[in-house]
């Protein structure tokens, strides 16, 4: 499928915006944080069902984003992989 020349020109003009994400955003005056209530149990929900192919693709994307510094491991006791 051919790419529209106007879209191509727009992409080139704003290549810094459309480029690959490089790490986490800079530190702010305050970081977002969800404070959990003391002694609460994790919500017990069944995981989403994905085909083996989708699961493998998701895991690969997560590993790439972690290694690129776009996301980081969950530090919550309620978070699991």
Distances (CA, A) of 71 to 10, 25, 41, 60, 74: 28, 10, 25, 13, 9
For residues 14, 16, 17, 20, the Cα torsion angle rounded to the nearest 10 degrees is 130
Q: Tell me the per-residue pLDDT of 12-45, one tens digit each, with 9 for 90 and over.
A: 898 888 877 777 777 888 777 777 788 877 777 7
Residue 72 or residue 33, greater confidence: 72
Examine the pLDDT at 54 and tell me if it is beyond 80: yes
- How far is it, in rounded angstroms, from Cα 78 to Cα 19? 33
Non-local (6+) Cβ contacts of 78 within 8 A are: 36, 42, 43
Examine the pLDDT at 75 and tell me if it is beyond 80: no
């Amino acid at each position: 499928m051919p790419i529209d020349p106007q879209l191509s020109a727009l992409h080139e003009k704003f290549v810094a915006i459309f480029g690959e994400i490089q790490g986490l955003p800079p530190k702010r005056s305050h970081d977002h944080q969800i404070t959990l209530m003391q002694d609460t149990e994790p919500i017990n929900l069944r995981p989403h069902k994905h085909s083996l192919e989708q699961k493998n693709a998701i895991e690969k994307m997560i590993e790439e984003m972690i290694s690129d510094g776009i996301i980081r491991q969950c530090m919550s006791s309620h978070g699991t992989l």
